[in-house]
Amino acid sequence: MNRKIVAIGSIILLLCFSVLPVTGHDPSSSSTLYSNDTGTLVDESAFVSAEFLVKFTHDAAVSFSSSGNIIHSGISSLDSLITEFCVQNVERTFPGERIKPKNICLFTAIGLDRIYTFEVCEEVDIQSAVAAFERNPFVEYAEPNFIGQAHAIPNDPMFNVQWGLRNDGTNPPNHPGTADADIDAPEAWDIETGESSVIVAMLDTGVDWDHPDLSARIWNNADETANGIDDDGNGYIDDIRGWDFANNDNNPMDDHGHGTVNAGIVGASTNNGVGVAGVDWHCKLMPVKVLNQINWGQYSWWASGLQYAADNGAKVISMSMGGANPSQTLKDAVDYAYGLNCVIVVSMGNDNSNTVYYPAAYSNVIAVGATDTDDTRCVPPDWQPFGMQNGGSNYGNHIDVVAPGNWINSTAWNNVYQYWAGTSMATPFVSGLAALLFAKEPSLTNAAVQNIICITAEDQVGNPAEDTVGWDKYYGFGRINAHDALLYLTEPQLDIGSIVGGTRITATLNNTGFGDASDIQWNITITGGFFVLPRETSGSIPSLPGGGSTELSMSVFGIGLGLLFPQPLITVSATCAEESSVEKSVEATILFGQVTIQ
């Protein structure tokens, strides 16, 4: 994609990418499924109605097959139960042959390879089926497929209508969508919920720091006191909570509402029994007011806000705004913040067109479009309830990703909650994810964060005519997935570095990921040449830690000049148990044991 931008001037016009709010919410709370002390099943609906789990014994030589609608296990007593309880399908619960477990010895020792999920007809009584299978001598145990509250599901009463975090296809009630058309936030929270050391600067209309769901999350400048003196020497007097560039004072309180909504999406206090949940549970929100009470602002405010945020420790800068004119000043401010390792997240615009807005068009930002509750791009008439008859998510060659941006329930000005819509609302979802990544791995560069968010986005989940394979101008790399992004930080990434010659062929194997690689199998092969020995060498490495490297080598004798004989081709490959694999080939000449890489 082409993201080269030439700045031709500056302008002070703003277009802020959100649409008018709709007030209202559907508060609800989830009930407890199990007693806290015994784990006893309290509600019979707390397990899947047509599934149960079976773990077979070590000596159960099960081999499942089907003929027509009949499932066979290879064991007659089990086949009788399969028929009696109308078993429709049997699958491994932990498909070890596909996911290649990190520790295969532990995987099999525990017996995860012997656990299967049985799917039965809806009318089958699961408890009766479980009891019958439990009595079979080839079954170690059988149990219902229980439904439990995930570890990171918050108790905020409006969480159920926050479809962008977890979409079950029924919420919000007046605009339901498609199940799992969300960022997989609960799954992500099982990995990381955030750190208070990560600061997200909200460049916006300000933030209502008195809101009960935000008051505990506001950044405090510990080096400044309210005494009329610039204690920390940063050029701003008494900037205890941030700065108001629209009015040039130290009171970045929201006087419009837009900024408070976006702040709540990023980081509303979560699991506190109040209101809504934020993407990040613990980050600090730095109010930087660069939009005035009618939701517009000067580029100079934006540029100053970018510098302020970067200089005062922000790791993420969220900018739900844009102007139609390029500006070198604004671009320089973006580049400055980027140079201080800030991740800058910007909205695409709401025209349903390929109109370019800034700073979204600059290369050192993440440009974000908006999706609806069914994962399709927001288009007319999606935003009509919010006062935009022809509004839709902008697209173009500079878009990076998309995120939920319609009927987004969040904190609102004056201590209430409202639904809003627009690419403005999609942007803080990405900002919150960036904050979670920094919390999980503080050493990340901004380029790495941007790359992780893009490569782990879900592709081809939207309108097939627009959301084509790979990057496209409507969805970018896809709709963000917070769980997959954080999971990436736990996985290895194998890479072949240099391949050098000499008296031996030596290749460098790197693990550029964050997780350890285990059970590495490597191979070096040579094709071409004349009388080359050996042709292949292989080996194994028990483990390679994240960020680690090792050398692979082989000696070789023969002739291969690429003149009278086919040009020798050296191929180095490696795989690990965690499903990372790599292969690299180079041409070479070989003359009596001396290898020269071309």
Active site residues: 204, 258, 424
**Residue 410 CB-density burial (10 A; 0-12 exposed, 13-18 middle, 19+ buried):** buried
Measure Cα distances from 597 to 359, 508, 567, 590 in Å.
Answer: 45, 14, 11, 9
Alpha-carbon span 359 to 349, nearest angstrom: 11
Length of the chain in residues, anyone?
A: 598
Instruction: Take residue 369 and report the two structure tokens written for it.
Output: 């479009």
Instruction: For strands 139-146 and 284-289, give the pairing.
Output: unpaired
For residue 338, give the H/E element and its range: helix 328-339
Give the Cα separation of 68 and 91 in Å (integer). Answer: 17
Tokens standing for residue 597: 């890489």
Contact at 8 Å (CB) between 467 and 476?
A: no
C-alpha span between 142 and 47 (Å, rounded): 13
Tokens of 549: 């490297």
List the structure tokens of 54: 């079976």
Contact 188, 429 (CB under 8 A): no
Phi, psi for residue 219 in degrees, rounded to 5: -65, 140
Q: Is 118 helix (H, G, I), strand (E, B) or coil?
A: strand
